[in-house]
Amino acid sequence: VEKMPSLNLKTQIRLHFRLGMDIPFEEGELSPNSTDMRPEPPNSLDLDGSHPRRIKLTAPNINLSLDQSEGSVLSDDNLESPDEIDINVDDLDTPDEADSFEYTVHEDPAALQDSGQEAESIPEYTAEEEREDNRLWRTVVIGEQEQRIDMKVIEPYKRVISHGGYYGDGLNAIIVFAACFLPDSSRADYHYVMENLFLYVISTLELMVAEDYMIVYLNGATPRRKMPGLGWMKKCYQMIDRRLRKNLKSFIIVHPSWFIRTILAVTRPFISSKFSSKIQYVSTLSELSELIPMECVHIPESIIKLDEELREASETAK
């Protein structure tokens, strides 16, 4: 290409980008196509694991002096009009996406293990954990409906019901209900605990009873805040299976208080006369021993202590 007439700097840049021509610059200025300024394009991607190379577009050497000498950006030749100052970015030759592609080598899992970085694995559900879950929840069928019992929340109160052995001939069970083991009504989840405890008592009763049975209700040493409410007792009676209601031969209340007597008096109109006739009041443990065999009946220490205090008080009164 023959040497073109002298052009101002802006025009030279524009021709260089649009025509891809090597425009000779003034003496002392480097050409944009000079081999000293243009890096060689990559022939292939660097796949050997070394750091990826980046291709840089090198701009031509422009005189940025602030005087108005020839070739300066502030010269009169370069400030002809505002329109000529703008460079059309769409016409610029920019590097291809492939030129700036950065290859990242994935880390070998073996190398991770060598460096102590092991991938987290999902823990297996062991047989012991499965047995533990089964202990936390129990599924029972009450009134032809499947119910789930939260065994964890009632764990401290499971002693409320126990098997006291048998009486008479055959499998006539003695079921002991100790009210002193009931939860305190001041608990925030009191109703939830009592609901699950109710399901536990009913389901346990069905397992313990094979034929006729009696219930021994230990009412002594039970503060008012632990006494079951009228609604809870009524619900228990209504949810008891017909077979259990029929086979109940006696309901013995030991150390009855005025509160429990009042509750039974209020509920009498709502229960059958047959059930009312089965209720018996016993003031001492010695009286209870005259009605049933006591060998297998578990009496809490607090009730034994109360019984001794009542007996001493009775003897002193005489």
**Looking at residue 101, what is its pLDDT?**
45
Residue 46, pLDDT above cutoff 60: no
Read off the pLDDT of each residue in 223-231 and give the average, rounded to a whole number: 84
pTM over 0.75: no
Residue 223 belongs to a domain: yes
Residue 111, pLDDT above cutoff 90: no
Residue 297 belongs to a domain: yes
Q: In one letter, which amino acid is 123?
A: P
181 within 8 A of 159, measured Cβ to Cβ: yes
Which residues form the domain of 251? 133-317
Residue 137 belongs to a domain: yes
**Looking at residue 242, what is its pLDDT?**
84
Residue 113 belongs to a domain: no
3-state DSSP of 211-266: CCEEEEEECCCCCHHHCCCHHHHHHHHHHCCHHHHHHEEEEEEECCCHHHHHHHHH
Domain count, the chain: 1
Residue 5 belongs to a domain: no
CATH number, residue 179: 3.40.525.10
Residue 106 belongs to a domain: no
216 within 8 A of 297, measured Cβ to Cβ: yes
**Looking at residue 231, what is its pLDDT?**
76
Percent of the chain with pLDDT over 70: 58
